[in-house]
Each structure stands twice: as C-alpha cells, then as structure tokens.
A and B are shown apart, each in its own frame.
Chain A
C-alpha cells in the first residue's frame, strides 16, 4: 500500500437475524481498479446471494477472505488502497453503504434478542484529529477519503463542532478538489454518532462460538487448506454448543457379556434365516437400555428453560459414522420402547443402511431423547462422548474382550474364569443427572445384560 489510506470492506449486516455470510465470488482481484459502488464481491446467506459494492474508488490492495469461506458480520474482507488520495487521515473501517438505514435501530434490537449478531464495526469512533474535532462519522470519513479531504479542514456545524455529512458535502461542492461523481448516498441520513453504542456496548459472546475464526489466516509452508463441508461445520457447531450447554460428566462400568454372547450365538442363525437381520450386540444393549431408561426418566429427559421435561417414549439415537470417515449423523429409532429385540435389530439396521445410502429424511435425525454411540468396533475400551442436545445423556459402548475375571461359584469360592467383558460409559448432563443416579442407571443396565435370559427379548 503506497498511501496508507486504505478503506476496509467488511462483511455487511444482512439483517437483524444474520450474523455471518459466505463469500461466493470475488469480481475483482488484487491489483484491479474499482469504482465506488461497483460490485466488488458477492456473498451468500441462506438462499440469498447479494452483491457487495465497493465503498470507495481505488485499487484493490488486499483480499483477506477467500471464496467459500464463511465469516462473521464486520469481518474485514478486503482493502481498497486509496489510489490518488492525498492526505485523508481516516483509517477507520468503513462499512459498505448498504445497511446504513436500519443498522443502528436494528442493532439495538439485536442486543435484546437472543441472536447475538456481532455489530458492524461502524460504531467505532475515529481517532482524534489534531484540531480537537474528535469524531467523524463513518459516512463522513468515507466521503472524506474518497475525495482526498482531511475532515479536520472542514468547518463543522454539528454538536461540538462535529463535521456532518452536510458540512462535508458543502465543502466538496464549494471547494476545488475536483471530485468524482456524486457519492453513492445511502438512502438514510448519516448514522447518528452514538447510535449503536449505548445498548450494544457489552456485546455478549457470540451465540455460535467461533468455528475457527478465519481472520487473517495464513498458510505456512507444508500446510494445505481445505474448506469445511456443511456437515463438518454443523458438527463443529453442535459439539461446541453442547459442551457450552451441558455439564458433561462420564461414569463407566464393566459388564460381563458372557450370557449375551452365548444367547446371540444361538439366535444369530435363526434371525438371519427367518428375518434377514443380524442380532447385533448393539441391539441387545439398546433393548436393555430402553428397559432401564423406563426407571430413570431424567436420563431420558431434558432441561428446557427452567423446566425438567420427561417423556413417555424413548426415541433412541444412534451415532453413525459416514462411509468416507468425514462425518457423523445420529438417526433416531422412534418409539424404541415398543420394540422387542428383533424390532430393535431391524430398526437399527434400517437407519444404518439409510444413513450409508444417504436416504435419511430430516425427520429421521430429529427428536431423539437419548443416544447410543458405539466406538468399540475399533477396540477402544473407554471414551467421553458429547451429548446430543437437548438430551441429558449418551451411552458409550466399547469393545467386548475376553479377560480373566474373578467369579464366585455356588459354594462361595472364588475362581478365575475367562469372560467376555465390555465397558459401558454413561456421559450425562450433571445439571440434571447426579453421579449417584448415573451410577444406579449403569448398575441396572449391567444387571439386565448379565442376567439376560434365553426367553428375554
């Protein structure tokens, strides 16, 4: 940058409820010349594509956010180097002209609503200038920089001698510096100097905590960048929010699965030939979990505001890894309390297949009341999963391993036997579920699995 009078182009505020936008296309590249109001880039929010005009004329000196990236409102996207401007001191971020009309009023509302849209940076006061006119509004600063005027040279008629938009316009019309065509006037008067500050000052932490902030990301040698998929972003967002919401605590228990192993071996052939379905260990565990949840409604419940919600149904979610290893989805078996072992096995097989084939509907992945995750297939024996909000708990199932186990025979004598042992974890929201309750839940679940009878389904 030669002149040091660059004008920042920031992600505009596209509405009270909008906190971020995605860059879809740069119409100019670094080094290109652009006129004020000419389209510099396009951004996308929801299903709306919006042209963002350049706030100033000049050469594009920097592009800071690449196509495909999503950033918060107010993030600096590019800089227009003030080519040909002489001595404009305004170095403050200048908002693109679009949202001037309502941004101030909306900002006040936004602060009150639960959607904590980061405010545009327009409200930052400019640095004091020498003659004591300590503030110029962003609009005035922009007009000044576009015309190469030092605002401190302009007689101000506003409060405390402040330079208003009218003042600077009059100055331009009267004065010599030959000006480019009429400034693209936002349809509103200059945002009142103080507008967004009083209410909005203590900006709450962003509602959706930063997925890694892409501001000024630079790529070091040996690093590669790839954009996040929508699913990855969704997972990142959900995981962060869940940890910010629930007080996660995990308890674990060891279960002797020897009876289940034996019964499953017997049932396997029958189920496969008669029903075409594999009675997986997961089906046994899910069945026993549903039975146990009946006695622990809070583990199957949720916190909603200051209410504890309990449910007369169990909608059982299953964390399913997608084939490419790049995502995770939690389809739900609805009304799992109505299913016997066979129904559970079929229900799990059905959602797992549809998840792999990408045939799940939005209804399939919503409304869960409790979730089971099964990372044990890879041999892991412990984990601390993240709760699927707004649920209160998630059960982790781990590898079934043959281990030397101390058993007590009918005569009360101890002996070491080879048993099939599995660890289970219950991760629960300690806001609702206490450790003792979680412990009893795991004890009962273990009891059901260890005493599974030949006629239990």
Chain B
C-alpha cells in the first residue's frame, strides 16, 4: 500500500459483539457485567474503548493519506463528513462537535458513530463504526465508551423508529465515502462476499 502498488481499499463489514480498547483507554472505562456475551480486545487504534456488534456498520478505509491531504485532523473531519452524508441519505441530520470526534445527533447530543484510526507510514487502518440497528445500552452500561461519561448513544433504527438492515445502509456509506474522498469504487472480487470495496 505505502509503495503505491495497491489502490485505496475500503472494507464495510459487521463484527460479532466485541469491546475494543484503543490506545488511550483509561482505567475504569470497562465495567462489563458478569456473564455478558462479549469479547474484549486491545487494539492499536487511536481513541478509547468502544463496542461493536451485529447491526453496526464498520468501515475500515485503508488509504494512503499522502494522497488525501496528509493531515490526521483533516482525515477525521473527512470521515465525519462521510458519515454525515450517509445519515442524510436516511433524512437524519448528523453533526460533528468540536473536540468530540465522531458523529452526533442533536439535541440533546447523542452519539451515533465513533472514529478510531491507526496510521503506519500514512496508511490508515481501523476507521469508523456507525450504529445502524443495535441496542446502544452496552456503550454506557458495559463500558464508558470513548471515555465519554454521561453521554447518550443511539442508532439509526432508533431515530427512524423502524428496523434497518446494515445492507440497506452499506451502499449509501460507500457512495458518501466515494464523494468525500473523491474515489470511484469497484468491488474487490475476492473480497466481495465480505463487503470489501476497492477504489479504482
């Protein structure tokens, strides 16, 4: 990737119930009740703890950021914009809040998507997680997600008042991502089954 031999690649997928602990996770953030069916994994992305489960669209862009502005903050803002545009395809109005990276609905503010990135030679891994249709309780009850004490988490389904499949959101997410990062996607044949998409 770093030597330019691979194109930008974006994976859009779902995870089984998992709590991941980013590099800046602080003591006391994780308070999973006994018997909860969830894996806890330490990962090398930025940010604190978060929760993944089916019903959440996880977007892993593998981009060479030297081709996309070479600026970590700009990359975070671009990801937020891609999420906001994805939401607007479903008539939901997302906003970015300064110093609280991620995407929120207002008001009162409730977090609908989280961001966490790792860079190696300006090549990104990890990405964002958008709550499509899952119970957001674990974000607050099992962990203090993102270290945000006292903030609410929500999902697109909860906001729309109807069930919503991740497959329904995936095309909008790919389109928004392509628009923001000025990419044209083609399906990666070998990976198509797992939802991978690749920039041409």
CB-contact partner of B72 in A18, A39, A53, A106, under 8 A: A18
Give per-residue flags for B7-24: 1 if the beta carbon is below 8 A from chain A beta carbons, else 0. 000000000000000111
CB-contact partner of B23 in A46, A49, A98, A358, under 8 A: A49
> Which residues of chain B (46-104) have a CB below 8 Å from chain A?
46-47, 66, 69-76, 97, 100-102
Interface centre among A48, A106, A358, A361 (most CB of B within 10 A): A48
Distance between B170 CB and nearest chain A CB, rounded to angstroms: 23
The count of A-to-B residue pairs whose CB atoms sit within 8 angstroms is 100
Distance between B152 CB and nearest chain A CB, rounded to angstroms: 8
Whether a CB of chain A sits under 8 angstroms from the CB of B107 is yes
CB-contact partner of B70 in A15, A45, A53, A362, under 8 A: A15
Distance between B107 CB and nearest chain A CB, rounded to angstroms: 5
Contact present for B107 and A49 (CB under 8 Å): no
CB-contact partner of A358 in B45, B106, B150, under 8 A: B150
Residues of B with C-beta under 8 A to A15: 69-75
Contact A101/B117 with A17-B73, A48-B72 known, Cβ cut-off 8 Å: no
Residues of B with C-beta under 8 A to A358: 149-150
Whether a CB of chain B sits under 8 angstroms from the CB of A44 is yes
Residues of B with C-beta under 8 A to A409: none
Residues of B with C-beta under 8 A to A98: 121-122
Task: Tell me the count of chain B residues lying within 8 A, CB to CB, of chain A.
Answer: 35
Contact present for B107 and A361 (CB under 8 Å): yes
> Which residues of chain A (407-448) have a CB below 8 Å from chain B?
none
Contact present for A44 and B122 (CB under 8 Å): no
Contact present for A47 and B116 (CB under 8 Å): yes
Contact A46/B119 with A101-B66, A362-B109, A363-B109 known, Cβ cut-off 8 Å: no
Tell me, in angstroms, the Cα distance from A18 to B115 when the chains sit together: 18
> Which residues of chain B (111-148) have a CB below 8 Å from chain A?
115-122
Whether a CB of chain B sits under 8 angstroms from the CB of A187 is yes
Residues of A with C-beta under 8 A to B115: 47
Residues of B with C-beta under 8 A to A40: none
Tell me, in angstroms, the Cα distance from A106 to B107 when the chains sit together: 37
Residues of B with C-beta under 8 A to A102: 66, 70
Contact A46/B73 with A24-B24, A101-B66, A358-B149 known, Cβ cut-off 8 Å: yes
Contact present for A47 and B119 (CB under 8 Å): no
Residues of A with C-beta under 8 A to B22: 47, 49
Distance between A54 CB and nearest chain B CB, rounded to angstroms: 13
Distance between B135 CB and nearest chain A CB, rounded to angstroms: 21
Contact present for A48 and B74 (CB under 8 Å): no
Contact present for A45 and B109 (CB under 8 Å): no
Contact A46/B71 with A98-B122, A357-B150, A360-B150 known, Cβ cut-off 8 Å: no
Residues of A with C-beta under 8 A to B102: 47
Whether a CB of chain B sits under 8 angstroms from the CB of A450 is no
Contact present for B150 and A362 (CB under 8 Å): no
Contact present for B76 and A46 (CB under 8 Å): yes
Tell me, in angstroms, the Cα distance from A25 to B22 when the chains sit together: 12
Give per-residue flags for A312-334: 1 if the beta carbon is below 8 A from chain B beta carbons, else 0. 00000000000000000000000
Whether a CB of chain B sits under 8 angstroms from the CB of A359 is yes
Residues of A with C-beta under 8 A to B72: 14-15, 18, 45-46, 48, 50
Contact present for B71 and A16 (CB under 8 Å): yes
Contact present for A47 and B70 (CB under 8 Å): no
Tell me, in angstroms, the Cα distance from A102 to B44 when the chains sit together: 26
Distance between A178 CB and nearest chain B CB, rounded to angstroms: 25
Contact present for A361 and B108 (CB under 8 Å): yes
Residues of A with C-beta under 8 A to B107: 361, 363
CB-contact partner of A361 in B44, B76, B151, under 8 A: B151
* Sample of 14 further A-B pairs with CB below 8 A, known A49-B119, A53-B121: A15-B69, A15-B71, A16-B71, A18-B72, A24-B24, A45-B72, A47-B76, A47-B115, A48-B76, A49-B23, A99-B70, A360-B150, A363-B108, A363-B109
Instruction: List 27 interface pairs A-B (beta carbons < 8 Å), by A numbering.
Output: A14-B72, A15-B70, A15-B72, A15-B75, A17-B71, A18-B72, A22-B24, A24-B46, A39-B120, A44-B23, A44-B46, A46-B73, A47-B116, A48-B72, A48-B118, A49-B45, A49-B46, A49-B118, A50-B120, A98-B121, A102-B70, A358-B149, A359-B150, A361-B107, A361-B151, A363-B107, A363-B108
Binding site for A on B (CB under 8 A): 22-24, 44-47, 66, 69-76, 97, 100-102, 106-109, 115-122, 149-151
Binding site for B on A (CB under 8 A): 14-18, 22, 24-25, 39, 42, 44-51, 53, 98-99, 101-102, 106, 187, 357-363
